[in-house]
Amino acid sequence: MRRLKGSFTVEASVLVPFLLVVTVIFIYLGIYAYDKTLMIQDVNAVAAMVRDENSIGRDDVVSVCEGAFAEIKEEHPYLSMSNIKLVVTVKGSKVYLQLTGDWNMPLYKGYSRKMTQEREVKRINPVTKMYLTENIKSLLEETEDEDSDDLRD
């Protein structure tokens, strides 16, 4: 009977470190996923701002994007990212955004991974945007009329 009492201690000494390592791995994966999601969200926010703001001149796009990204980054800081840089390139009516940074594993300084998120935005001039909006409105009105007729029958 005495042998059985000590078996629990031996099993726990093997199982607890394993569970601890698995828990730490899940925490690191969560921090990585959070930073990656935040990076995607930031690039999309800057892209939406550039796409919808037609009063910005072609030469001012870079400074406006960097200013907007600085404000966005202050609202929600990254947990484990460093050296975060936004590179903006303008070619014709297209704006290319590239956000890069180094993801450092928390509590372990020897591991660093480069993360990059890219986005291409086509800027539409105001006249074309109004024309597209009016076309979409007319198409929606046509489908609403057709749907209402179907419901009456």
Q: Kindly report, residue by residue over 42-79, the tens digit of the pLDDT.
A: 888 888 777 766 666 666 777 778 888 888 888 888 88
Q: What is the pLDDT of residue 44?
A: 85
Please give the share of the chain, as a percent, with pLDDT higher than 70: 76
Give the tens place of pLDDT for each residue, 97-108.
888 888 887 767
- Total residue count of the chain as it appears in this document: 153
Sign for the CA dihedral angle at 139, 141, 144, 149 comes to negative
Q: What is the pLDDT of residue 142?
A: 76
Q: How far apart are CA 90 and CA 65, in angstroms?
A: 11
Please give the share of the chain, as a percent, with pLDDT higher than 90: 5
Q: How far apart are CA 39 and CA 85, in angstroms?
A: 11
- Indicate whether 153 pLDDT > 50: no
Mean pLDDT of the chain, nearest integer? 78
Q: What is the pLDDT of residue 19?
A: 93
Q: What is the pLDDT of residue 20?
A: 93
Q: What is the maximal distance between C-alpha atoms in the chain?
A: 88
Q: What is the pLDDT of residue 125?
A: 62
Give the tens place of pLDDT for each residue, 121-145.
777 666 666 667 777 888 887 776 6
Long-range contacts of 100-107, Cβ-Cβ distance < 8 Å, separation of 24 or more: 101/39, 103/32, 103/35, 104/80, 105/28, 105/80, 106/28, 106/31, 106/79, 106/80
151, amino acid identity: L
The residue ranges of DSSP E strands in 2-153, in sequence order, are 81-91, 94-104, 112-122
Domain boundaries along the sequence of the chain: 2-122, 124-153
Question: Between 118 and 5, whose confidence is greater?
Answer: 118
- Indicate whether 22 pLDDT > 90: yes
